[in-house]
């Protein structure tokens, strides 16, 4: 009797060990920490290294400020990978050896996650991408042009569907509220504003146009982008070459 119980116990332990080994080597276990980027584990999706950002442009900050406007009409032309690289770097790029970013963040908690919705861009398939500031790259979430779906989720605002790309500014609130409590929500929203203005100014300096879109159905945008549960969409910024001017 005791021998049978011991044998059964050994069999169960062996099975559990085999299962753990299987999940370890196949990468089936997903453990996203709120303090880590929201992209899937490395190796499971395509990663695109972006061009090294230029730090000396043709337009001064003062000129960009004076020319900055909300632009809602765009030419039917794709964006270059270089311009996409500059926009994302201006929004959340690493700007110091100790990991500081282009936009300020309360306590360097960095709750912001950027997603790029691509319809027409050079050297990028239409689809949804996640920006990785640490190595200035894009991770493909999935392929397919979802601009029409995103436009519908944004209450039918045409410019979202017509822009070659849209940058969707999202946030993981818990990264900041874990340190600052409910006041952290305010800090996240302040940070989104800083990121938004950086995109505006960089777009202006590159001869591009953009507009901040805050009217959308949150759940629909999250579903379209296949966002993780902890990542909340807060602002959509379509970007393109201005149709006029």
Q: What is the pLDDT of residues 107-129, one digit of tens each?
A: 999 999 999 999 999 999 999 99
In this structure, the answer to whether residues 115 and 14 fall within a common structural domain is: no
In this structure, the answer to whether residues 185 and 145 fall within a common structural domain is: yes
pLDDT, tens digit (0-9, with 9 covering 90-100), for 42-97: 446 799 999 999 999 899 999 999 999 999 999 999 999 999 999 999 999 999 99
In this structure, the answer to whether residues 173 and 86 fall within a common structural domain is: yes
pLDDT, tens digit (0-9, with 9 covering 90-100), for 23-42: 333 333 233 233 333 344 44
Whether the per-residue pLDDT at 177 is higher than 50: the answer is yes
Is 53 within the bounds of a domain? Answer: yes
DSSP state, 64? H
Number of domains in the chain: 2
In this structure, the answer to whether residues 69 and 12 fall within a common structural domain is: no
Mean local confidence (pLDDT), 152-172: 98
In this structure, the answer to whether residues 136 and 24 fall within a common structural domain is: no
Residue ranges making up the domain that contains 67: 37-240
Is 66 within the bounds of a domain? Answer: yes
User: Does pTM top 0.85 for this prediction?
Assistant: no
Q: What is the CATH number of the domain that holds 66?
A: 3.40.109.10
Q: What pLDDT, on a 0 to 100 scale, did the predictor assign at position 95? A: 97
Q: What pLDDT, on a 0 to 100 scale, did the predictor assign at position 34? A: 35
**44 vs 14: which has the higher pLDDT:** 44
pLDDT, tens digit (0-9, with 9 covering 90-100), for 221-243: 999 999 999 999 999 999 999 99
Is 67 within the bounds of a domain? Answer: yes
In this structure, the answer to whether residues 192 and 211 fall within a common structural domain is: yes
In this structure, the answer to whether residues 193 and 217 fall within a common structural domain is: yes
In this structure, the answer to whether residues 92 and 25 fall within a common structural domain is: no
In this structure, the answer to whether residues 9 and 130 fall within a common structural domain is: no
Is 245 within the bounds of a domain? Answer: no
In this structure, the answer to whether residues 8 and 112 fall within a common structural domain is: no
Quick one: tokens of 186? 């305010």
Whether the per-residue pLDDT at 21 is higher than 70: the answer is no
Q: What pLDDT, on a 0 to 100 scale, did the predictor assign at position 45? A: 75
Whether the per-residue pLDDT at 9 is higher than 50: the answer is no
- Long-range residue pairs from 147-154, CB within 8 A, at least 24 positions apart, any chain: 147/117, 147/119, 149/224, 150/117, 150/221, 150/224, 150/236, 152/220, 153/216, 153/217, 153/220, 153/221, 153/224, 154/213, 154/215, 154/216, 154/221, 154/236
The band of 204, judged by pLDDT with boundaries at 50, 70 and 90, is very high
In this structure, the answer to whether residues 13 and 98 fall within a common structural domain is: no
Distance from the Cα of residue 127 to its chain's centroid: 13
Distances (CA, A) of 25 to 17, 28, 76, 105: 13, 8, 45, 36
């Amino acid at each position: 009797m005791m021998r049978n119980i011991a044998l059964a116990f050994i069999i169960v332990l062996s099975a559990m060990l085999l299962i753990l080994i299987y999940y370890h080597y196949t990468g089936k276990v997903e453990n996203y920490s709120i303090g880590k980027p929201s992209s899937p584990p490395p190796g499971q999706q395509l990663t695109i290294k972006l061009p090294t950002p230029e730090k000396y442009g043709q337009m001064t900050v003062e000129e960009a400020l004076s020319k900055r406007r909300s632009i809602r009409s765009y030419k039917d032309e794709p964006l270059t990978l270089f311009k996409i690289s500059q926009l994302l770097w201006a929004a959340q790029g690493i700007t110091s050896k100790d990991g500081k970013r282009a936009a300020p963040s309360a306590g360097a908690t960095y709750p912001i996650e950027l997603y790029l919705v691509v319809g027409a861009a050079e050297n990028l398939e239409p689809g949804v991408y996640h920006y990785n500031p640490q190595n200035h790259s894009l991770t493909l979430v999935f392929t397919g042009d979802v601009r029409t779906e995103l436009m519908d989720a944004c209450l039918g605002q045409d410019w979202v569907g017509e822009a070659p790309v849209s940058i969707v500014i999202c946030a993981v609130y818990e990264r900041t509220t874990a340190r600052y409590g409910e006041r952290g929500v305010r800090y996240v929203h302040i940070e989104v504003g800083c990121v938004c203005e950086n995109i505006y100014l960089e777009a202006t300096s590159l001869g591009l146009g953009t507009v901040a879109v805050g009217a959308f159905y949150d759940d629909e945008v999250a579903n379209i982008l296949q966002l993780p549960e902890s990542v909340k969409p807060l602002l959509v910024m379509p970007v393109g070459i201005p149709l006029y001017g």
